[in-house]
């Protein structure tokens, strides 16, 4: 393997929200630990940061416990309408899909947009048609729906609210490989009872997803509109390249911007030196990480 194993870092999130402290999250913790460990092993074997971030997010999409892919939250029409993005830090190559309903793994479609189209972001039916042309199967949208999401939608609709998911969140991964390259990937169903066609921050490059080897890889979760208004990922990047501050402070300052626009949430980030930050302004954020030693850490609350 080329490069230095000590450079390897991986962090995942499974969403920020206000999960009740007395909930039973053993399955969430187990899934995060399993997926972060598999990702670390891939990095140790010399895998590329973007490949690892993409596959970790695809594994989280397949896990019905999280708000992405199978098990995503439902929009006001009762459909799981999904957004995802990937970004590579070495050359800022990136790809994203928005408002897709017939893809099991939107993050794979985002990667295909990056690798095989001249575009950065494809939405809706066109994104699905493009993904199919790249060999990704189109599924029955109902296959993405789990019963609990229908109950959540009914509750949100009777309260007349658009809700951030409390205990099953958006997913994301940031990775630094043995060559020191950075990458980020994010995938989400967005918010319960959102208007059909609403697109959140996850597929907006420079907002919910960003990576640049000169600064950091960042994946966000929380109230997407406020993260877009804050230009979250680019806000962290700009502070780092100007040398104004370190990673943790840059993320806190960007979260303060999100608060200014009326939102809460969190992010996972790895900078070019290998520092990691996983801050959040909600009551909880599902998260897992591994440093260069491969020790797996999983947390939900301030613990």
Strand partners, 16: 285
Strand partners, 10: 175, 290
Per the CB < 8 A criterion, the answer to whether 189 and 18 are in contact is no
Looking at the Cβ atoms of 82 and 276, the one nearer to ligand ASP is 82
**Shortest distance, CB of residue 296 to ligand ASP, whole angstroms?**
23
Beta strands in 189-255 (DSSP E): 209-211, 216-222
Residue keyed to tokens 């229908």? 150
- The C-alpha atoms of residue 24 and residue 239 are separated, in whole angstroms, by 38
CB of 137 to ligand ASP, least distance (A): 24
* CB proximity list for 155: less than 8 A, separation 6 or greater: none
CB of 293 to ligand ASP, least distance (A): 29
Instruction: Pick the closer one to ligand ASP by CB: 6 or 18.
Output: 18
* CB of residue 15 to ligand ASP, shortest distance in Å: 5
Minimal distance in Å, beta carbon 292 to ligand ASP?
A: 28
Interface residue list for ligand ASP (CB under 6 A): 15, 67, 164-165, 169-170, 188, 190-191, 200-202, 208, 221-224
CA distance linking residue 218 with residue 175, whole number of Å = 9
Tokens of 247: 């990673």
In the complex with ligand ASP, the residue whose CB is nearer, 5 or 196, is: 196
- Of 128 and 225, nearer to ligand ASP (C-beta) is 225
| 39 CA to centre of own chain | 15
Annotated active-site residue 170? The verdict is yes
DSSP state of 197: T
As a whole number of angstroms, the distance between CA 91 and CA 181 comes to: 10
CB 61 within 8 A of CB 139: no
Of the candidates 101, 170, 221, 282, the residue annotated as catalytic is: 170
200 or 233: CB nearest ligand ASP: 200
Q: Provide the annotated active-site residues.
A: 170
């Amino acid at each position: 393997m080329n490069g230095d194993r000590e450079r390897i870092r991986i962090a995942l999130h499974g969403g920020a929200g206000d999960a009740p402290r007395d909930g039973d999250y053993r399955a969430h913790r187990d899934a995060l630990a399993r997926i972060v460990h598999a990702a670390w092993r891939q990095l140790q074997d010399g895998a590329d940061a973007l490949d690892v971030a993409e596959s970790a997010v695809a594994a989280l999409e397949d896990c019905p416990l999280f708000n992405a892919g199978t098990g995503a939250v439902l929009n006001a029409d009762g459909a799981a309408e999904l957004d995802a993005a990937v970004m590579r830090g070495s050359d800022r190559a990136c790809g994203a899909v928005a408002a897709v309903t017939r893809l099991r793994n939107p993050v794979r479609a985002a990667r295909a947009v990056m690798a095989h189209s001249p575009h950065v972001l494809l939405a809706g039916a066109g994104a699905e048609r493009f993904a199919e042309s790249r060999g990704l199967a189109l599924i029955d949208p109902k296959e993405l729906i789990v019963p609990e999401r229908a109950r959540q939608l009914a509750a949100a609709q009777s309260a007349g609210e658009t809700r951030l998911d409390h205990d099953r969140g958006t997913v994301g991964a940031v990775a630094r490989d043995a060559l020191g390259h950075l990458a980020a990937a994010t995938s989400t169903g967005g918010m319960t009872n959102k208007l059909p066609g609403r697109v959140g921050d996850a597929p907006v490059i420079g907002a919910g997803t960003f990576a640049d080897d000169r600064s950091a890889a960042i994946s966000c979760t929380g109230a997407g509109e406020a993260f877009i208004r804050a230009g979250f990922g680019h806000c962290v990047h700009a502070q780092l390249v100007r040398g104004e501050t370190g990673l943790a402070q840059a993320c806190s300052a960007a979260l303060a911007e999100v608060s200014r626009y009326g939102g809460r949430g969190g992010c996972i980030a790895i900078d070019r030196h290998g520092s990691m930050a996983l801050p959040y302004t909600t009551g909880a954020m599902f998260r897992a990480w591994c440093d260069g030693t491969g020790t797996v850490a999983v947390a939900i609350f301030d613990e």
